[in-house]
Homo-oligomer: A and B are copies of this chain.
Amino acid sequence: MIAIMPNAIAQIFRTGRVQSFEPGQSVFRSGDPVRMMYLVTGGQIALVRHTRAGTPLMLARVGPGGVLAEASAYSAVYHCDGTARGRSQLRMLPVARFLDHVHGATGPARAWAAQLARALQAARMQSEIRSLNTVAERLDAWLSDNEALPPRGQIQDLAHSLGVTREALYRELARRRG
């Protein structure tokens, strides 16, 4: 989603310790106290929430350049699980230090707020897309905010993002080609 970038937020993590995670390894779990903020520098971290019934729900997948669970910076405990998908590298910083940096000067504060705002727009967009009933409508809505379809190998990710099964999406794509 967010490019690997020497932006103001990533700069804040420059002094952070680096840690690697194996596929499936947990970065934090729901209910854990929030002690660290994480910047993804490699791989991908999935944010998953489990309902009372036990159904797992993927809230987001964060790739290189993204900050893990932005909202957790203002929470005492996590509200979802953070799990590595594939070998991943994170750079971490204690929350207090992160917030000191981010709110210590107007520049970073603004960059951080802008980052939250972008994440908010993306989340609203995803919610909006999922309020549509048919695969065709959801795909149209997604295309209205994206340049082109993702390359081969990433269609399933798109299906997940749209909240439909891969079969349904493949069928819709075939329908449009023919």
Contacts and interface: CB of A to CB of B under 8 A. Distances in A.
Given A109-B113, A137-B51, A137-B53, A131 B163 contact: yes
Contact of A132 (B57, B59, B73, B117): B57
Interface residues of A, number: 44
Interface string A106-142: 1001101110111111011011101110000100110
B71 A144 contact: no
A51 B163 contact: no
Interface of A: 49, 51-53, 55, 57-60, 70-71, 73-75, 79, 99, 102-104, 106, 109-110, 112-114, 116-121, 123-124, 126-128, 130-132, 137, 140-141, 144, 163
A109 B117 contact: no
A124 to B, nearest CB: 5
A118 B49 contact: no
The 8 residue pairs across chains A and B that have the minimum distance between CB atoms: A123-B123, A116-B116, A130-B130, A71-B117, A127-B127, A109-B109, A74-B114, A103-B106
Contact of A127 (B52, B59, B106): B59
A121 B74 CA distance: 11
B116 A120 contact: yes
Contacts of A113: 73-74, 102-103, 109, 112-113, 116
